[in-house]
Amino acid sequence: MLYDPKVQVNDPDFEKEIQAFEKEPIEKGKIMFYGDSNFTRWKKQYGNDNLEDVILGKDGSKVAVNHGFGGSTAEQQLYYYDRAVKPWAPRALVLSSFANDAGKGYTATEIFFLQARLMAYARTDFPGIKFFLCNTMPNLTTAGRGLVRKVTMAEYNELCADYCLKHDDAYLINRHDWAAIYYKPENIGDYEHVRKDLFIEDNTHFNPVGYELYAKFFIKELDSIL
């Protein structure tokens, strides 16, 4: 597949974040959360509990590492794979992308193509690794972005689901149909009815209550490897 890059992959702001990852002690064999700002902001510095402190193993041990870098696209995540993922030799990757990509003009197919390449690299580097692929994240800003965005979301979600059906090492994290984020069960999938009380003022990122629910959601979704 050919596509036109739409971002500067080595953005100076991202470089600072990647360098911060590189200064961390490397603990291999963990579950790495790798993606955009919904992971990045899962930290004390944003007023939330650290992801590593709430996504725990069944024995209470710390099993996760958070390498989200806010504003990143699938292309930038692929670009930084060798530095932000590979040295940690994770046993599982939780991947989150889409919103930034779609906002910069990537099609659903382009976004998923880049994510699939990243998974192919990781599968080669770490035989037996598992992938937990997040589909679109419900939030209040996405709701007002029109039919084109809704169609792109639907296409992307279908690509994620299809990939997970065809690969035994890949599992779908279905955020799109996550019931707790909607007001009523009948609202599931309708971003016009996402709960406003779970977000900060930008209507995109979770507040502490939202992250508490997010942690419970992931603990359930990752049960088989915790």
Percent over 70 (pLDDT), the chain: 93
What's the pLDDT score for residue 5? 62
- Coil, helix or strand at residue 127: coil
> Both tokens of residue 60?
């209470």
Instruction: Inform me whether the pLDDT recorded for 165 exceeds 70.
Output: yes
Confidence of residue 73 (pLDDT cuts 50, 70, 90): very high
The Cα-based distances of 96 to 17, 137, 174, 197 in angstroms read 17, 9, 11, 23
Mean predicted confidence (pLDDT) in 32-43 = 96
> For residue 86, how far is the Cα from the chain centroid?
17
Closest CA to 95 of 128, 120, 59: 120
pLDDT at 146: 63
Per residue, the 3-state secondary structure of 168-182, as one string, reads CCEEEECCCCCHHHE
In this prediction, residue 145 carries a pLDDT of 64
pLDDT per residue as tens digits for the range 5-28: 666 667 778 899 999 999 999 999
Q: In which band, very low, low, confident or very high, does the pLDDT at 84 lie, cut at 50, 70 and 90?
A: very high
**What local confidence, expressed as pLDDT, does residue 4 receive?**
60
Predicted pLDDT of residue 150: 82
pLDDT (average), residues 76-90: 96
* Average pLDDT estimate for 158-173: 98
The larger pLDDT score, comparing residue 207 to residue 147, is at 207
What tokens does 127 get? 């035989």
In this predicted structure, what is the pLDDT of residue 151? 86
Looking at the predicted structure, is the pLDDT value of residue 45 above 80? yes
Q: What is the pLDDT of residues 98-153, one digit of tens each?
A: 999 998 989 999 999 999 999 999 999 999 999 999 999 998 887 656 666 788 99
**C-alpha separations of 2 from 30, 110, 113, 142 in Å:** 33, 9, 10, 27
With cut-offs at 50, 70 and 90, classify the pLDDT of residue 44.
very high
Average pLDDT over the chain reads 92
Distance of CA 51 to the CA centre of its chain: 13
Q: Which residues pair with 184 in a beta bridge?
A: none
Superfamily of chain region 28-225: SGNH hydrolase (3.40.50.1110)
Burial degree of 151 (CB within 10 A; 0-12, 13-18, 19+): exposed
Task: Taking residues 161-171, report their average pLDDT.
Answer: 98
Distance between CA atoms of residues 219 and 41, nearest Å: 18
